[in-house]
Amino acid sequence: MASADWTPWRPLRLAEDVPASTLAEQLDGGQTFRWSREADGTWVGVFGRTLAALRPGPLGLEWRGPKGATETESALRHYLDADGSQARLSEALPWRSDPVLCSARAAFPGLRILRQDPHEALIGFLCSSNKRILQIRVMVAALAEKLGLPLSDGFHALPTWAALAKADDAVLRACSLGYRAAYLRGTAQKLLARPRWAEEFAGMATKDLLDELQSLPGVGPKVAACVALFGFGRLESFPVDTWVVQALAEAYGLRGWKPAQLEQFGKAHFGEAAGLAQQYLFSAARQGALRPAAVTLPSALARPKSRR
């Protein structure tokens, strides 16, 4: 990457340091699909219209950005929860009485939910159904390159809904979206008529937010939960995907439970930051680091007879 026009590296001074392995999981573990690791271990990515680079340093995480982009540092600090509000939530999770969560949490110290743009989260997870994380990254990168606003050094922002709504079928097809192209197009057409959608959605109670998201084509319960969690900072949202199903079945003995039941369990067992707990379990399961010992559950959390 050409780097002549970048600022020098500076420490980001997070309230809590992020080890290199946790940083990698945060940036390349399925929360966002917009970061990539350079050969020297530096991470480069785009969020919103911000292009930035991160790397672990002797004094903690270091950052740099294009010269002249004055808000890179503050954008990064917000994105990475620099003031540590999630540290308290993580501490308050029931890890003391839950050995599975305890080990998953210990495997990824400092892991946080990235505070993404609603737009970024929605586009990313509209592409996510029935796809591996690596393939989602390819799709989202292609969308940005072909339809997004150019930034410096050949990087691009994600496309606007207007750009997606009017994009040629051939262009979308060239992004390897498959049937998800119709999801993006349909959602773009609906949101195009509602330019303040993100602000409107942000003002809603989480339940209403989830309903509103699910009214969009290509958005079901799981994608809505991810957008609420990653894009709207609803830490209580508990997305249930294949990895979480597996983790809860194997480590918590919840075999045969349906996704809606598992979601109910997750919210009841993990509480106000269930989404953060979910991310620990997701990461641990995906890396094969999930402790297989079954958890003894309080009887109050017995399997519900009906969903929701």
What residues contact 123, with CB distance under 8 A and at least 6 apart? 140, 143, 158, 159, 184
At residue 46, the 3 state secondary structure works out as strand
Q: Is the dihedral of CA 211, 182, 258, 106 positive or negative?
A: negative
Asked whether the beta carbons of 159 and 167 are under 8 A apart, the reply is yes
**Catalytic residue selected from 166, 207, 222, 305:** 222
Query: Measured from the CB of residue 106, what is the shortest distance to DNA in angstroms?
Result: 19
Closest CA relative to residue 286, chosen from 154, 104, 113? 104
Q: Which residue has the tokens 């369990």?
A: 265
d(CA 79, CA 200): 21
Query: Helices 242-252 & 99-107, crossing angle to 10 degrees?
Result: 130
- Residue 40: HSE in the Cβ half-sphere, 13 Å Cα cutoff: 8
Confirm or reject binding of residue 279 to DNA (CB under 7 A): yes
131 catalytic residue (yes or no): no
Q: Which parts of 255-274 interact with DNA (CB under 7 A)?
A: 258, 260
**Which range touches DNA (CB under 7 A), out of 6-14, 51-59, 132-140, 204-212?**
132-140
**Contact residue for DNA among 131, 166, 190, 291 (CB under 7 A):** 131
Closest CA relative to residue 190, chosen from 166, 219, 161, 232? 161
d(CA 50, CA 43): 14
Nearer of residues 40 and 179 to DNA, judged by Cβ: 179
d(CA 75, CA 51): 10
Confirm or reject binding of residue 56 to DNA (CB under 7 A): no
Confirm or reject binding of residue 219 to DNA (CB under 7 A): yes
Nearer of residues 132 and 194 to DNA, judged by Cβ: 132
Instruction: Give me the 16-55 binding string for DNA, x by CB under 7 A, dash otherwise.
Output: -------------xxx------------------------
Confirm or reject binding of residue 222 to DNA (CB under 7 A): yes
Closest CA relative to residue 277, chosen from 90, 118, 70? 90
**Contact residue for DNA among 147, 223, 228, 251 (CB under 7 A):** 223
Bridge partner residues of 56 (DSSP): 61
Confirm or reject binding of residue 251 to DNA (CB under 7 A): no
Nearer of residues 6 and 282 to DNA, judged by Cβ: 282
Nearer of residues 6 and 238 to DNA, judged by Cβ: 238
Nearer of residues 25 and 62 to DNA, judged by Cβ: 25
**Contact residue for DNA among 218, 231, 233, 266 (CB under 7 A):** 218
Contact residues toward DNA (CB under 7 A) are: 29-31, 128-135, 173, 176-179, 182-183, 214, 216-224, 226, 239-244, 258, 260, 278-279, 282, 306-307
Which residues are catalytic, by number? 222
